[in-house]
Structure formats: C-alpha cells, structure tokens
Amino acid sequence: GGGEATGRGEATGGGEATGGGPAPPVVPLRPPQCEGSVELLGASGGTAIVQCSSLRRPPSVWAVKDGGEWTCLVDVGSLVEKHDAGPHCEQARAALRELRSARLEKVRLPEEEGGSEALCLLPAGASRAPWTLKIHGGPHSASLDSWSVEVALLLASGVCVIQPNYRGSIGFGDDFCAALPGHVGEMDVGDCVALTRASLAQLDESLDPARGGAYGGSHGGFLTAWLLGCEERALYSCGVLWNPVVDLPAMLGTTDIPEWVSAEGLQGDAAGADATWPVGAEDLLELHRRSPLSVIDRVEAPALMLLGAADQRVPHKQGRSWVSALQQVRQRKGAPADVTALEFPGEGHAIASLEGNAHAQQSAVAWLVERLRGESNAS
C-alpha cells in the first residue's frame, strides 16, 4: 500500500485495487499509545514505517506489516532514559520529564474572524511566564503537535511557546489555505496578532503579557519583522528572524523562485485570473507596501538576525538590508539599534549542516531566554 501525510499530522495508508478487486480501505497509520503527529517514512511490500512524535515526546520509529502488530524500532526517549555518560545525560532526562508534564492548549479564533488557531505549550505550573510566538514559514505549511528541539529548549528554560496557524496554513481546508495569496503582510499579520491576544486572554494566569517575543524563519521571519513594526508591536518585546523575507520587490531579481513573490504578494484581476508575471510599476509599489521594510521606522525592539550566506531562496542581503535600514533609522532618531546579525558561511536557507544548525538554534533560544526571562515581571 501507499500513503500520505496530511496537514494535521496524521499519516494514512491504503492501496489501489489489484486484479479487478476492490481497493483496500484507507486507514490511519497510528501505533498504539502514540500521541501527536505521525509521519509515513516509507511503505513497500505490505510494510509501513512511520515516525511518531509530539511537542512533549521525542520521535519514535515504528513498523507494521499487513495491518498486523506494530513493532517499535527506535524510541529516542527510551534511549535517553537508559543512556548514562555523565551529568549532561541526567540533565536531558530531567528536561524530558519536565516536557512530558507540560500543558498543551489550543486557542482558536471565531470563524467570522478567519478561524485561525494556535497550539500553546506551557511548562507545568506556569504562572505569568514569558512566552514566544514561534511562527512557521511557507507560508503554506503548518505548526503541528510534533517534536521540535527549539520548543523543547524554550520549555526547559521556562518560556512558553505559542505556535500560530494563520490563514494560508495547510491542513485546514482548501479555502483556508487559498485565502492568503494577495494578502500577505496584512491577513497573516492580523491573524498572528489576534492569536497572540486570544492566547493571552485564554491563558491569562499562565502568560505574562509584558514578556513576549516573536521568532520565525523565511515567511515566519517576514511575519516577525512585520510584528516588530506593526501597530500592535508593543505586544512583542524582542524578535528573532531566520533568513527572513523583508523586501518583496528586491526578492524579484535575486530569489530562485521570483514567481512566488507575485503569487503571494499580488492579487489577481477582477475576472479571477492569477497575478501577472513579470510585474509592472504599480505592482512594485504594492509589493513594497506589503513588505516589513516599509515599517522599519517603527521598530524599537531588540532583534537577532540569523542568515545563511549561500541562501538562494531568500538571499542573505534581505536580512542585511533590514539590519542596515534599522541602524540608519535609529541613528537618525539618536538611539542605537539593538540588533545583532549572525551569518553562516556556505549555509543555505535551512542552515542545514549539523554544526551550523545547532549553533543557529542554540543562539536563537539563548538570546530569547536572556531577553524574555530578564524582563521584570509586570505582576
């Protein structure tokens, strides 16, 4: 049989009819007692292999043949519990135990406000704790209940994590996904702000409204840059931007997918045709209006920029232009810009090398923790 992973993190398996017989039913591929998301890694000869994980449990890999009993091949959590090679192992075990006791809440906006939702992960007993809005990229991707090293590190440091699925995210239906193109820098920004406010209201005893930040990569970095300069920017006291899109017109001549800029940033005509490519002069003005660089003069919060020097998807000059513009604006106002840029030579969009990725993630988490936990508690 074959299968696919759905946007809600559920793997499915099934097959085509053979020999003229009926096709077998498509059934969820979920091992027993596995919470969170399931990803189908492969299927052949009647055997399926899946990976299970959640925000509170590290990955495990399972196999099943012909719909029979499941066999666990690897369980990272069990390996950590059994391994004993010094004090760091005990720290890892303590962190995993704390993570398993964390609270997972869902926050959802009313349908008349777009119906976006967020996953909120809070340390057990969190009270007026700092938090980070961790924003997925794409924009046609999704934040799932699946393992994330960065989320685990933030939780272990006492920082709550809000993961928004704004309009344009996958897994919530075609209409929800298709709503965003032509409205970036507006609809997605509004959803992130609304989900932030809804989370603070629903979890008011757990989250400190005065100690929040934003963190995102690619389109998530685009949204982080917007949140630091939008009308509601006081919600976010700092931000981390990982290879962000900040200047849509400049992207047209530098990215390896220039048609993405047109498709996401411009609306089609009244007859329903797609946005045109190449773009015209009026289109360039519209793209600038939808770019976070257009509100750089409002940014006052500290920021950390993480850049892959060999990124062809979002060239590193995007992030560098934002840093330079912020420094110039702040200098004219007589106040230095609190911004740091880390550039990783030879790295692409994902900063994917083992050493580079670990350095980038640890730098982002440590920077956020220092600023969010260092703020005085408003309560």
Judged by average pLDDT, the poorest of 109-118, 210-219, 370-379 is 370-379
User: What b/e sequence results for 109-120 when a residue is b if at least 16 CB atoms lie within 10 Å of its CB, and e otherwise?
Assistant: beeeebbbbbbb
Judged by average pLDDT, the poorest of 9-13, 129-133, 149-153, 262-266 is 9-13
SS3 category, 196: helix
Provide mean pLDDT across the span 144-155: 94
**pLDDT given at position 80:** 77
**pTM recorded for the entire structure:** 0.88
Catalytic one of 218, 237, 262, 291: 218
Integer-rounded Cα radius of gyration of the chain: 22
Judged by average pLDDT, the poorest of 95-99, 197-201, 220-224, 321-325 is 95-99
Catalytic one of 188, 191, 208, 311: 311
Residue 53's contacts (CB-CB under 8 Å, 6 or more residues apart) are: 36, 37, 59, 60, 146, 147
Q: Is 7 exposed, middle or buried (0-12, 13-18, 19+ CB in 10 A)?
A: middle
DSSP structural state of residue 39: E
Residue 288's contacts (CB-CB under 8 Å, 6 or more residues apart) are: 247, 248, 249, 294
**pLDDT given at position 86:** 67
Residue that the structure tokens 């008349």 belong to: 112
Judged by average pLDDT, the poorest of 217-226, 273-282, 351-360 is 273-282
pLDDT at 3 over 50: no
Cα separation values, 278 from 75, 163, 187, 259, Å: 50, 34, 24, 8
10-17 contacts at long range (C-beta below 8 A, 24 or more positions apart): 10/37, 10/38, 11/38, 11/39, 11/40, 11/50, 12/40, 13/40, 13/43, 13/48
**pLDDT given at position 97:** 84
Q: Is 338 a known active-site residue?
A: no
More confident residue, 244 or 6: 244
Averaged confidence pLDDT in the chain = 89
Q: What's the pLDDT tens digit per position in 273-293?
A: 556 667 889 999 999 999 999
**pLDDT given at position 26:** 61
> Given the DSSP bridges, would you call strands 239-242 and 303-308 parallel, antiparallel or unpaired?
parallel
The percent of residues in the chain predicted with pLDDT above 70, rounded, is: 88
- E strands, 156-238, where? 160-165, 207-217
Cβ-based neighbour number of residue 90 at 10 Å: 10
pLDDT at 2 over 70: no
Alpha-carbon span 52 to 66, nearest angstrom: 19
Q: Is the Cβ–Cβ distance between 143 and 55 less than 8 Å? A: no
Q: Is the peptide bond before 22 cis (omega within 30 degrees of 0)?
A: no
Judged by average pLDDT, the poorest of 8-22, 95-109, 151-165, 300-314 is 8-22
**pLDDT given at position 25:** 58
**pLDDT given at position 10:** 56
Residue that the structure tokens 């979920």 belong to: 30
Q: What's the pLDDT tens digit per position in 97-120?
A: 888 889 999 999 999 999 999 999
Taking the mean position of all CA atoms in its chain, how far away is CA 187? 17
**pLDDT given at position 4:** 32
Judged by average pLDDT, the poorest of 9-13, 276-280, 302-306 is 9-13
- Local confidence band at 7 (pLDDT 50, 70, 90 cut-offs): very low
Q: Is 269 a known active-site residue?
A: no
Cβ-based neighbour number of residue 260 at 10 Å: 17
**pLDDT given at position 270:** 41
Q: Is the Cβ–Cβ distance between 38 and 10 less than 8 Å? A: yes
Q: Is 311 a known active-site residue?
A: yes
The percent of residues in the chain predicted with pLDDT above 90, rounded, is: 74
- Local confidence band at 82 (pLDDT 50, 70, 90 cut-offs): confident
- Local confidence band at 22 (pLDDT 50, 70, 90 cut-offs): low
